[in-house]
């Protein structure tokens, strides 16, 4: 087999380089924030100052369910959603499907928020369902980082389109990269040569990209799917296969077939069902849904997060609502297991890496770091090759601003969050911290005379900012290490240690570089 011609390879190098150059800054932003947001759950727990948080499904819910069901109007008793709300409280939402003018079919009913441990009533209201996002101020930091990753802070569908497009660019870069690089296996073990020459950067870029290739393709593919599936894919398929009826298309993909039986019957004990679900899936449910309570064909669904008992995808367990027997693990889409359903089910866990707890997340963070390295070294290589040109010289500074400025800005967001955590608006605090840090980075870039000096400055700021994060967290009423070890909140220690370790690595490296520079000066004299 002969590969592509030399001319074709030249064209592909040009596409690989230019596509990377034009958007690589955004690509880096998405990949870097993605790497950080792998630790979303840990950051959430770390930034949350509450000492002990009880999972709502750890305590029996049946009695409270019965009490509330007796209070609500009969029409709302059929469908129930029980979940762990955004702020950690227990939600019970009793509703019916109702057609509202201008809104189509919505879930309309009564919504109760309860204390997860004592089931004391915290809030109650009657209305339309999409109110999932309860005030969860302590999750604003992680939410901000994830939002930056998933839609670059662009609101609405446009943000999803932007990140989807970046996913396509990454895929194209991976494909052209394979086709350009004719000695992938031979160069697999060639470490970066000393000297910071073009060939050293080529080694660096090649090494990180070739090792990171499977992961790059995986995250680009799954990420593009996550961006486009609902924002573009489903509407297109709906138009083509259902004449534009998105609701019908959604129903065809998600709703299972069921034999109707309206004979009245008592609902099974929910506590027994939750206990069974825990045994099968290995985790507490994220939410539990009762369908058609009070009828013989009632169903209870428990939906669990990704992973659990060795699976990669999420579990959706279906129980008979009258006898409480376990029926089956319901596929994510369609009415029986299929290739499409199992592929869709693994898309999000393989993108986020949250299928085996901390183990998979640690691996995903490491792979994300390799991918970031590959993108940054690619940009460095591109600029090095054009070193003489003054325009590209200026770009070097931009590269430094982006590569080190973005982490500084994320740390700034963290500072803003903690500054606002006592009594303030954490969302505005996070955004303000991010923007202020960005402003500082901009000012620094204007006053510093070279890209190297700028990078060194930003690295120093990053290191000290990271050291400050745990301190600030403790000062604003965060969980102390003693309390953390008492209540088994290991996330607090993990993220604190991570901040301190990264900061130490930067500071030590800077020291070593200074010393070797001084030694070189001595020798020169």
Partner 1 sequence: MIIVASILFSLAALAVLIKQDPKRARTFGLAPWQTGVGPRFLWLLCLAPGFVLPFFMPFAHWVIWLGATIAAGWFITSLRPGLGTRLKGELTALEARILGK
Partner 2 sequence: MLVTWPKTKKAMVALTVRKDDKPSGRFGRGLIERWNNRPLRTRWIASGPVAFVMAILSMASLPHGLPAGAGGVDHLVMPVIVFPLIWAVLIVLPLLPDRPGRLLGLYISIILAELALIVAGFLA
The contact set with partner 2 (CB under 8 A) reads: 4-5, 7-8, 11-12, 15, 164, 167-168, 171-172, 175-176, 179, 220-221, 224-225, 228-229, 232-234, 236-237, 239-241, 243, 249, 252-253, 331, 333-341, 343-344, 347
SS3 content of the chain, % helix, strand, coil (to 5): 60, 10, 25
CB 478 within 8 A of CB 492: yes
Binding residue (CB under 8 A) for partner 1 from 40, 283, 360, 426:
360
Contact of residue 300 among partner 1, partner 2, none (CB under 5-8 Å per partner type):
none
CB 179 within 8 A of CB 1: no
Contact of residue 126 among partner 1, partner 2, none (CB under 5-8 Å per partner type):
none
CA nearest to 484, candidates 138, 117, 48: 48
Q: How far is CA 281 from CA 58, 301, 310, 312, in A?
A: 15, 12, 9, 11
Residue closer to partner 2 by CB (options 252, 327) is: 252
Q: Does 221 bind partner 1 (CB under 8 A)?
A: no
For 429, the enclosing helix (H) or strand (E) is helix 426-447
Angle at 47 between CA 42 and CA 49, to 5 degrees: 120
HSE-up of 47 (CA within 13 Å, CB side)?
31
Q: How far is CA 321 from CA 74, 302, 356, 477, in A?
A: 18, 12, 30, 44
Binding residue (CB under 8 A) for partner 1 from 36, 148, 207, 345:
207
Q: What is the DSSP string of 293-353?
A: TTBTT-EEEEEEEE-STT-SSEEEEEEETTT--EEEE--SSSSS--HHHHHHHHHHHHHHT
Q: How far is CA 98 from CA 76, 137, 271, in A?
A: 10, 31, 29
Minimum separation from the CB atom of position 176 to partner 1 (A) = 21
Among positions 168-187, residues that touch partner 1 (CB under 8 A) are 186-187
Minimum separation from the CB atom of position 8 to partner 2 (A) = 5
Residue closer to partner 2 by CB (options 240, 501) is: 240
Q: Does 191 bind partner 1 (CB under 8 A)?
A: yes
Minimum separation from the CB atom of position 7 to partner 2 (A) = 6
How many chain residues touch partner 1 (CB under 8 A)?
A: 33
Minimum separation from the CB atom of position 197 to partner 1 (A) = 13
Q: Does 192 bind partner 1 (CB under 8 A)?
A: yes
Contact of residue 5 among partner 1, partner 2, none (CB under 5-8 Å per partner type):
partner 2
Contact of residue 189 among partner 1, partner 2, none (CB under 5-8 Å per partner type):
partner 1
Angle at 113 between CA 112 and CA 116, to 5 degrees: 130
Contact of residue 191 among partner 1, partner 2, none (CB under 5-8 Å per partner type):
partner 1
Residue closer to partner 1 by CB (options 9, 369) is: 369
For 504, other C-beta atoms within 10 Å of its C-beta total 13
Minimum separation from the CB atom of position 106 to partner 2 (A) = 24
Binding residue (CB under 8 A) for partner 1 from 15, 171, 370, 453:
370
CA nearest to 317, candidates 331, 338, 334, 297: 331
Q: Does 523 bind partner 1 (CB under 8 A)?
A: no
Contact of residue 116 among partner 1, partner 2, none (CB under 5-8 Å per partner type):
none
Minimum separation from the CB atom of position 39 to partner 2 (A) = 26
CA 324, CA 355: separation in Å to the nearest integer? 28
Binding site residues, partner 1, CB under 8 A: 186-194, 204, 207-208, 211-212, 214-215, 307, 309-312, 350, 353, 355-356, 359-360, 363-364, 366-367, 369-370
């Amino acid at each position: 087999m002969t590969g592509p011609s030399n001319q074709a390879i030249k064209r592909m190098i040009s596409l690989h380089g230019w596509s990377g150059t034009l958007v690589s800054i955004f690509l880096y932003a998405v990949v870097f924030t993605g790497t950080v947001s792998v630790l979303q759950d840990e950051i959430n727990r770390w930034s949350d100052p509450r000492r002990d948080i009880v999972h709502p499904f750890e305590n029996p819910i049946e009695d409270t369910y019965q009490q509330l069901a007796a209070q609500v109007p009969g029409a709302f008793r059929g469908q129930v959603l029980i979940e762990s709300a955004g702020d950690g409280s227990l939600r019970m939402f009793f509703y019916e499907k109702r057609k509202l003018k201008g809104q189509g079919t919505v879930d309309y009913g009564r919504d109760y928020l309860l204390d997860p441990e004592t089931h004391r009533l915290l809030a109650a209201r009657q209305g339309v369902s999409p109110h999932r996002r309860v005030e969860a101020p302590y999750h604003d930091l992680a939410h901000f980082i994830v939002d930056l990753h998933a839609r670059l802070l662009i609101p609405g569908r446009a943000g999803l389109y932007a990140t989807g497009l970046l996913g396509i660019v990454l895929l194209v870069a991976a494909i052209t990269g394979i086709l350009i690089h004719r000695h992938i296996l031979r160069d697999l073990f060639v470490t970066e040569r000393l000297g910071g020459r073009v060939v050293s950067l080529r080694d660096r870029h090649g090494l990180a990209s070739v090792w990171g290739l499977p992961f790059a393709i995986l995250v680009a593919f799954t990420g593009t799917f996550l961006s486009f599936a609902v924002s573009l894919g489903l509407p297109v398929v709906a138009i083509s296969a259902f004449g534009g009826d998105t609701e019908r298309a959604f129903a065809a993909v998600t709703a299972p077939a069921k034999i109707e039986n309206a004979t009245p019957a008592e609902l099974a004990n929910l506590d027994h069902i939750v206990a069974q679900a825990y045994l099968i899936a290995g985790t507490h449910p994220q939410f539990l849904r009762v369908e058609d309570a009070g009828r013989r064909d009632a169903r209870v669904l428990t939906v669990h997060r990704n992973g659990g008992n060795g699976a990669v995808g999420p579990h959706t367990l279906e129980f008979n609502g009258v006898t409480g027997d376990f029926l089956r693990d319901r596929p994510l889409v369609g009415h029986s297991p299929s290739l499409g359903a199992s592929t869709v089910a693994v898309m999000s866990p393989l993108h986020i890496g949250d299928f085996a707890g901390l183990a998979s997340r640690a691996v995903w963070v490491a792979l994300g770091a390799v991918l970031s390295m590959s993108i940054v070294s690619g940009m460095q290589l591109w600029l090095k090759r054009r070193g003489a040109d003054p325009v590209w010289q200026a770009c070097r500074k931009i590269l430094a601003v982006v590569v080190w400025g973005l982490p500084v800005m994320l740390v700034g967001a963290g500072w803003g969050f903690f500054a606002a955590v006592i009594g303030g608006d954490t969302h505005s605090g996070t955004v303000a911290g991010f923007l202020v840090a960005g402003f500082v980075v901009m000012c620094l870039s204007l006053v510093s005379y070279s890209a190297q000096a700028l990078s060194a400055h930003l690295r120093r700021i990053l290191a000290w900012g990271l050291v400050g994060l745990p301190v600030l967290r403790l000062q604003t009423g965060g969980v102390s290490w003693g309390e953390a070890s008492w209540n088994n909140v290991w996330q607090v220690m993990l993220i604190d240690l991570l901040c301190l370790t990264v900061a130490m690595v930067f500071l030590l490296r800077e020291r070593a570089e200074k010393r070797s520079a001084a030694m070189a000066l001595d020798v020169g004299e």
